[in-house]
Amino acid sequence: MKNVILCACLVAVAFVATGCVVPTGAPVIGGLVTANVGGPVAGVDNNVGMSRVGEAEATGIIFFSQGDASIKAAMENGGITKVHHVDNESFSVLGLYTVYKTIVYGE
């Protein structure tokens, strides 16, 4: 019985501790199921074209996160100086492995 309680406590701690790698800003969070969703971040400026696309990505695995998914990084990666609009994509598997991507469209 003690082993069952110990295992249940370890699982609960693992879920609580890995909550920090759940992608924020996603339109929906899948929780315990795999989620692969996208959505808008910033509105449209019709005075700017969409000839270039820049992407920036951050990943998280259990307790470790790395990357720069900022709009600024995506603009630099795409050589963009004027933004038309910004989207995001997020992918999560049980909150243990997550990827958050920012996609900037502009010129």
72 membership: H or E segment, kind and range: helix 71-78
- The count of residues in the chain is 107
- Confidence (pTM): 0.69
Q: Are 69 and 58 in contact (CB under 8 A)?
A: yes
* 85, 71 Cβ separation under 8 angstroms: no
Structural domain for 22, as ranges: 2-106
Rounded Cα–Cα distance for residues 80 and 103 (Å)? 11
Query: What tens-digit pLDDT sequence spans the chain (107 residues)?
Result: 777 676 565 665 555 555 544 445 554 455 555 567 777 777 788 888 889 999 999 999 988 899 999 999 999 999 999 999 999 988 888 778 888 999 999 99
Tell me whether residue 38 is exposed, middle or buried, using C-beta atoms within 10 angstroms of its C-beta: 0 to 12, 13 to 18, 19 or more: middle
State the total domains in the chain.
1
What CA–CA distance (Å, rounded) separates 44 from 90? 21
